[in-house]
């Protein structure tokens, strides 16, 4: 595959980005921590908070990385930015405006795999980058597309069905786009995107699964008919 940039230019973009936006990386990790806490200790507003964090992460990736830096060496960055913003829009619409994304951590293979992806994105990914020969500032830090994708799919593993599919589309697509960096540029930590892709596809397939017994979605709870007056009459 013929690319419009070299491997050195690819990593130089990370250097330029990291040195220019510091300490935004720390703030993005703090947002991720807020999302994790909202999932582990659910409140009525948890779904909105998690969705808002994911929307910010994808908007940041599209604007602060693809448009502001990656576009300098790759014209396709404009397309990537548009796709990232579409992903952010899906989280805003379904999770913040319509409040259709409900997150709940329950013991299962799905959530265990998702939790492992979250830990990988925040802890193992930067450590792997460092020992693989790309220490800061030439490493892809959290908030950039690939670690953000891994984290996002991990968080989406906590979704309670049924849920809309559209918020999953962009993260799953980026699993396949981003995984190419593992082969083309030697970013071997991006191989974890393959695991994220499998989990993401499984989430797409099971999006319309029946709601577990005793589980009432917020929108359903608010629309249940009141039969007490009928019985009284």
pTM recorded for the entire structure:
0.89
* Average pLDDT along the chain: 90
What distance in Å separates the CA atoms of residue 233 and residue 229, rounded to the nearest whole number?
Answer: 6
Contacts of 122 (CB under 8 A, 6+ apart): 29, 32, 142, 147, 151
Cis peptide before 73 (omega within 30 of 0): no
pLDDT above 70: residue 232: no
CB-CB neighbours of 173 under 10 Å: 16
- If pLDDT is split at 50, 70 and 90, which confidence band does 1 have? low
Question: CB–CB of 185/7 below 8 Å?
Answer: yes
Question: CB–CB of 96/38 below 8 Å?
Answer: no
Delimit the domains of the chain by residue range. Answer: 7-207
pLDDT above 90: residue 23: yes
Interval 140-156: pLDDT, tens: 999 999 999 999 999 99
pLDDT above 60: residue 113: yes
Interval 149-179: pLDDT, tens: 999 999 999 999 999 999 999 999 999 999 9
């Amino acid at each position: 595959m013929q690319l419009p940039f070299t491997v050195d230019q690819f990593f130089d973009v990370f250097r330029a980005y990291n040195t220019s936006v510091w300490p935004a990386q720390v703030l993005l990790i703090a947002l991720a921590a807020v999302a994790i806490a909202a999932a582990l200790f659910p409140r009525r507003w948890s779904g909105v908070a998690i969705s808002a964090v994911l929307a910010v992460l994808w908007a940041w990736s599209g604007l602060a990385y693809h448009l502001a830096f990656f576009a300098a060496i790759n014209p396709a960055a404009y397309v990537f930015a548009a796709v990232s913003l579409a992903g952010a829009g899906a989280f805003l619409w379904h999770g913040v405006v319509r409040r259709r994304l409900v997150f709940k951590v329950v013991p299962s293979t799905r959530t265990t795999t998702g939790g492992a992806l979250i830990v990988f994105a925040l802890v193992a990914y930067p450590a792997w980058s460092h020992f693989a020969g790309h220490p800061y500032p030439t490493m892809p830090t959290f908030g950039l597309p690939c670690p953000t994708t891994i984290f996002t799919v991990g968080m989406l593993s906590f979704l309670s069905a049924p849920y809309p599919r559209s918020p999953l589309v962009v993260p799953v697509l980026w699993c396949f786009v981003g995984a190419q960096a593992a082969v083309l540029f030697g970013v071997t930590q991006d191989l974890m995107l393959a695991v994220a892709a499998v989990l993401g596809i499984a989430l797409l397939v099971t999006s319309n699964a029946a709601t577990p017994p005793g589980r009432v979605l917020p929108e359903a709870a608010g629309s249940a008919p009141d039969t007490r007056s009928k019985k009284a009459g």
